[in-house]
């Protein structure tokens, strides 16, 4: 995803954005990139001097591009992205269980404190403080953990929730969603016995993600397949009719819901339709 030395020098010499985009299009023609900016431009990071992979964003705090960036977390002093998203979810879950355990074990002494059954010792303040801190952290972590569980089920990041990624058919907030089960496997892996262990088991490489093309109605799909097989991204750059990741990724290998007709099938169908129409007339 990094530009070659010659392309980088040429990119820096060019002053017109159109010429710079032409260089980026030429460099990205063989890359598995299917999202663009809102203005249909190639996503390029001037700080890291590389073409951004899908779902990659630059973190201003870390000053680096992060694969499948979700957000920068000050609690762990790091960015949450592809390489540590599973660990972040486990961190939230085990912190949630720990706060619940602390609040549950202190509850009986907290009740005795309010009923004046607790002996007059210096532990009163500690019991009160410990229960309220555990309860408040439990509520806050529960809301955050529930939100990220919802994100996993939808296969979205926090950034993509507020700004939908732009595909060849336009912005689509569900462009990377493969269904709840497959979305869960993409983060936690195929082996369920490793899901609750702090072991990296996420599928993929962080640069290439299986996608879903925007579903169009039959009439629009027929017109687009006949007149515009690949919607143009720019003057000389076009998307392939079908992303390679959709056919090669193991998450979609057994998917029976994918239906796509090639040019020959389209011609056969068009010919059959024309023949039937002629017979009816």
Q: What are residue 3's DSSP bridge partners? A: none
- State yes or no: is 2 an active-site residue: no
119: left (phi over 0), alpha (psi -120 to 50) or beta: beta
Q: List the catalytic residue out of 48, 59, 73, 149.
A: 73
Buried b / exposed e across 92-108, counting CB within 10 Å, b at 16+? beebbeebbebbeebee
The 3-state secondary structure of the chain reads CECCHHHHHHHHHCCCHHHHHHHHHHHCCCCCCCCECCCCCCCEECCCCEECCCCCEEECCCCEEECCCCEEECCCCEEECCCCHHHHHHHHHHHHHHHHHHHHHHHHHHHHHHCCCCCCCCHHHHHHHHHHHHHHHHHHHHHHHHHHHHHHHHCCCHHHHHCCCEECCEECCCCCCCCHHHHHHHHHCCCHHHCCCCCCCCCCCCCCCCCCCCCCCHHHHHHHHHHCCCCECCCCCECCCCCHHHHHCHHHCCCCCCCCCCHHHHHHHHHHHHHHHHHHC
Contacts of 217 (CB under 8 A, 6+ apart): none
What residues are annotated to the active site? 73
């Amino acid at each position: 995803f990094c530009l070659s030395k010659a392309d980088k020098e040429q990119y820096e010499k060019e002053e017109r954005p159109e010429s710079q985009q032409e260089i980026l299009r030429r460099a990205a023609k063989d890359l598995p990139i299917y999202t663009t900016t809102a203005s249909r431009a190639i996503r390029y990071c001037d700080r890291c001097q590389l073409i951004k992979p899908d779902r990659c964003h630059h973190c201003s705090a870390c000053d680096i591009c992060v694969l499948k960036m979700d957000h920068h977390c000050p609690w762990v002093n790091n960015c949450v992205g592809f390489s540590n998203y599973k660990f972040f979810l486990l961190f939230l879950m085990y912190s949630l269980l720990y706060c619940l355990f602390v609040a549950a074990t202190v509850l009986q002494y907290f009740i005795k404190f309010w009923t004046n059954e607790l002996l007059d010792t210096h532990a009163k303040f500690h019991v009160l403080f410990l229960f309220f801190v555990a309860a408040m952290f439990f509520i806050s972590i529960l809301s955050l953990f529930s939100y990220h569980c919802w994100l996993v089920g939808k296969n979205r990041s926090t950034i993509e929730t507020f700004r939908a990624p732009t595909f060849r058919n336009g912005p689509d907030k569900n462009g990377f969603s493969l269904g709840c089960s497959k979305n869960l496997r993409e983060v936690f892996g195929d082996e369920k016995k490793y899901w609750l262990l702090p072991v990296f088991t996420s599928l993929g490489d962080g640069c290439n993600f299986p996608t879903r093309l925007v579903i169009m109605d039959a009439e629009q799909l027929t017109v687009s397949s006949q007149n515009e097989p690949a919607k143009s991204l720019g003057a000389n750059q076009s998307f392939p009719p079908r992303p390679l990741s959709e056919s090669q990724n193991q998450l979609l290998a057994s998917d029976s819901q994918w239906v796509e007709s090639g040019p020959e099938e389209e011609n056969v169908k068009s010919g059959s339709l024309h023949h039937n129409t002629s017979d009816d007339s």
